[in-house]
């Protein structure tokens, strides 16, 4: 009997902090299902995201390149055709490639990240759209349904075009008064339960697939992205004061409606009560997601689908919840944003269950890991599979992360809060290297922060003045990295979207002015 190549599932828990998992040594109870699943996985204690927000982070997952090579720093960036995506590589070698996406930056914007998917289901919007969808149905009713959805979407786009093309109305739509309307109308965080159900149906029933054809399944869930609207029973568990304290309720209403507030640094330290509220509401969202993912995993296990699946769980980035006077994920490379969860379950045994890798690894290497599992990796790519992480790792436990604030966000911050934006380096490029037990962050040309993550994972003590020799060593690594990436840099392509619906979704999530 011919060897069957494994299905590959890449589950991205968008905006999910690593410190909301008990399996990553934090005292929370938000993830019992994922914690149980982690016991079947190899756990990577120090996975580092290549970027701090969705577009560059996903581009790295899909290409295996750091942002300075793929160039996807802006909301208007388009992935170069010179860089084949993971979905393209797998599709061209016989995999059926399917995406179940709740992030509009990946599933709606025409930036090249959908390339290679034969089926791409997008769950964001007034109605679900199916770009690149390979329909399993061909009946007249299905054709009429798809025609109606397209026509209705065009109508909605026309209405929103009036708003998008008016500077005054656009500014108004960005205010707390109108933002909740757009949230409700466009379902900005998608539908996790439905997307997981659709993914399970494909992996279990395999309708329309050839006999023995393997599947690559990408899933993005947005439950822990702002705004926060967890079920009441979970709010009662993780933020009970919210149900009793009207000031907490007023604060959360303002917070959920203030898209600009998700971008800008705070003027002052966050109040302890407000910090507790954000932590509790985030925990409630994480617990809700855990329930849905747990049910999804149970379906796959019961059906036997897990037995032949390389299953990867990670996050594109984390989230600031008031630490260092920051909220959201636009402006830093601190651990709240780039230290991400990473679990790999492999029934073939290359990733031993119940084991842990505690050296730094870049999550961009999931690209190489998937190619190796599909037996289509080049020797260089195979060497970078996370199956090789450890003593013989070619990257020697080193990982980098890069951040350039999108230009539209820079302009908005500089116009509304110029002094604060300049003080926090909103217009400066950031780059970080994690090596050994240290992390060096460079902001602009000459601002450096050094942290010993073994002793200080919360990055509370800048050791630059204490350990100048270590700073010099890591500065040299940053210079070498920059030169290496520059020599391989793909040409960045930029597109100006004229789709008002796309522009509105980006504004409502806080990525466009």
CA of 32: how far to CAs of 9, 223, 362, 402, 422, in Å?
20, 16, 26, 32, 42
Instruction: Compute the radius of gyration of the chain from its Cα atoms.
Output: 22
* pLDDT tens-digit readout, 15-45: 999 999 999 887 778 999 999 999 999 999 9
Other beta carbons within 10 angstroms of residue 301's beta carbon come to: 13
Least-confidence region, from 320-324, 425-429, 441-445: 425-429
More confident residue, 129 or 488: 488
Which phi and psi angles does 93 have, rounded to 5°? -110, 20
Residue 1 has pLDDT above 50, yes or no: no
Quote the CA–CA distance of 286 and 181 in Å, as a whole number.
24
Residue percentage of the chain with pLDDT more than 90:
69
User: Residue 110: what pLDDT?
Assistant: 84
Q: Would the CA dihedral through 99, 100, 106, 109 be positive or negative?
A: positive
Per the CB < 8 A criterion, the answer to whether 151 and 177 are in contact is: no
How do the domains of the chain map onto residue ranges?
7-508
Residue 331 has pLDDT above 50, yes or no: yes
What count of Cα atoms within 13 Å lies in the side-chain half-sphere of residue 375?
Answer: 9
The span from the first CA to the last CA of the chain, in angstroms, equals 57
Residue 386 has pLDDT above 60, yes or no: yes
* pLDDT tens-digit readout, 478-492: 999 999 888 877 444
Mean residue pLDDT of the chain comes to 86
User: Residue 319: what pLDDT?
Assistant: 97
Residue 455 has pLDDT above 60, yes or no: yes
Mean per-residue pLDDT for 253-280? 92
Quote the CA–CA distance of 331 and 310 in Å, as a whole number.
33
Quote the CA–CA distance of 2 and 301 in Å, as a whole number.
23
Residue length, the chain?
A: 513
User: Residue 76: what pLDDT?
Assistant: 85
Mean per-residue pLDDT for 394-407? 93
What count of Cα atoms within 13 Å lies in the side-chain half-sphere of residue 118?
Answer: 18
Of 118, 71, 74, 64, the C-alpha closest to 94 is: 118
Residue 147 has pLDDT above 90, yes or no: no
Residue 146 has pLDDT above 80, yes or no: no
Of 139, 143, 83, the C-alpha closest to 115 is: 83
Quote the CA–CA distance of 315 and 11 in Å, as a whole number.
8
* pLDDT tens-digit readout, 148-198: 544 544 444 344 334 333 334 434 444 555 555 555 555 678 999 999 999
Exposure pattern of 177-208 as b/e (b: 16+ CB <10 Å)? ebbeebbeebebbbbbbebbebbbebbeebee
Which range scores top for mean pLDDT: 1-5, 357-361, 505-509? 357-361
Q: Which fold has domain 7-508?
A: Alkaline Phosphatase, subunit A (3.40.720)
* pLDDT tens-digit readout, 56-104: 999 999 999 999 999 999 888 999 999 999 999 999 999 999 999 999 8
Per the CB < 8 A criterion, the answer to whether 219 and 14 are in contact is: no
* pLDDT tens-digit readout, 414-438: 888 989 988 999 889 999 999 999 9
Per the CB < 8 A criterion, the answer to whether 100 and 218 are in contact is: yes
The distance of Cα 397 from the centroid of its chain, to the nearest Å, equals 22
Per the CB < 8 A criterion, the answer to whether 129 and 100 are in contact is: no
Residue 139 has pLDDT above 60, yes or no: no
Query: Which long-range contacts (C-beta less than 8 Å, at least 24 apart) are formed by 483-489?
Result: 485/66, 485/68, 485/69, 486/68, 488/65, 488/69, 489/68, 489/69, 489/71
Q: Are strands 309-314 and 7-13 parallel, antiparallel or unpaired?
A: parallel
Contacts of 512 by beta carbon, 8 Å cutoff, 6+ apart: 75, 408, 503, 506
Listed in sequence order, the DSSP H helices in 304-385 are 335-338, 366-373, 379-383
């Amino acid at each position: 009997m011919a060897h069957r190549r494994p299905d590959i599932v890449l589950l991205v828990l968008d905006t999910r902090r690593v410190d909301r998992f008990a399996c990553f040594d934090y005292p929370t109870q938000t993830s019992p299902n994922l914690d149980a699943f982690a016991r079947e996985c190899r756990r990577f204690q120090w996975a580092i995201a290549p970027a701090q927000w969705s577009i560059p982070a996903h581009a790295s997952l899909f290409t295996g390149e750091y942002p300075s090579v793929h160039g996807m720093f802006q909301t208007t960036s388009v992935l170069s055709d010179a860089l084949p995506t993971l979905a393209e590589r797998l599709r061209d070698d016989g995999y059926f490639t399917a995406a179940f996406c709740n992030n509009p930056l990946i599933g709606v914007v025409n930036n090249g990240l959908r390339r290679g998917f034969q089926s791409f289901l997008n769950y964001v919007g007034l109605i679900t759209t199916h770009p690149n969808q390979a329909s399993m149905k061909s009946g007249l009713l299905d054709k009429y349904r798809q025609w109606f959805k397209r026509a209705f979407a065009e109508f909605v786009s026309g209405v929103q075009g009036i708003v998008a093309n008016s500077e005054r109305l656009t500014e108004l739509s960005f205010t707390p008064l109108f933002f909740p309307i757009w949230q409700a109308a466009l379902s900005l965080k998608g539908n996790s339960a439905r997307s997981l159900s659709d993914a399970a149906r494909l992996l279990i029933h395999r309708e329309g697939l050839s006999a023995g054809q393997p599947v690559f399944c990408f899933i993005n869930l947005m439950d822990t992205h702002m705004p926060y609207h967890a079920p009441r029973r979970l709010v009662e568990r993780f933020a009970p004061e919210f149900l009793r304290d009207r000031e907490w309720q007023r604060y959360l209403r303002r917070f959920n409606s203030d898209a600009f507030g998700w971008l800008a640094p705070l003027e002052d330290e966050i109040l302890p009560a407000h910090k507790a509220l954000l932590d509790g509401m985030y925990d409630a969202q994480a617990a809700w997601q855990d329930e849905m993912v747990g049910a999804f995993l149970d379906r796959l296990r019961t059906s036997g689908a897990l037995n032949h699946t390389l299953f990867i769980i990670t996050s594109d980035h984390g989230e600031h919840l008031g630490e260092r006077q920051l909220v959201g994920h636009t402006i830093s490379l601190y651990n709240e944003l780039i230290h991400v969860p990473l679990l790999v379950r492999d029934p073939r045994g290359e990733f031993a269950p119940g084991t842990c890798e505690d050296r730094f690894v870049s999550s961009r290497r999931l690209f190489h890991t998937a190619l190796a599992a599909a037996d289509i990796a080049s020797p260089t790519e195979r060497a970078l599979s996370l199956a090789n992480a450890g003593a013989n790792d070619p990257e020697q436990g080193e990982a980098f992360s890069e951040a350039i604030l999108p230009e539209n966000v820079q302009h908005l911050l500089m116009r509304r809060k110029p002094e604060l934006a300049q003080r926090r380096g909103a217009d400066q490029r950031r780059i970080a290297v994690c090596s050994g037990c240290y992390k060096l962050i460079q902001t602009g040309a000459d601002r450096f922060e050094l942290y010993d993550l073994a002793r200080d994972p919360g990055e509370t003590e800048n050791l630059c003045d204490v350990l100048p020799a270590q700073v010099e060593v890591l500065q040299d690594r940053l210079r070498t990295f920059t030169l290496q990436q520059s020599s391989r840099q793909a040409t960045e392509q930029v597109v100006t979207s004229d789709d008002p619906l796309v522009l509105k979704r980006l504004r409502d999530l806080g990525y466009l002015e």
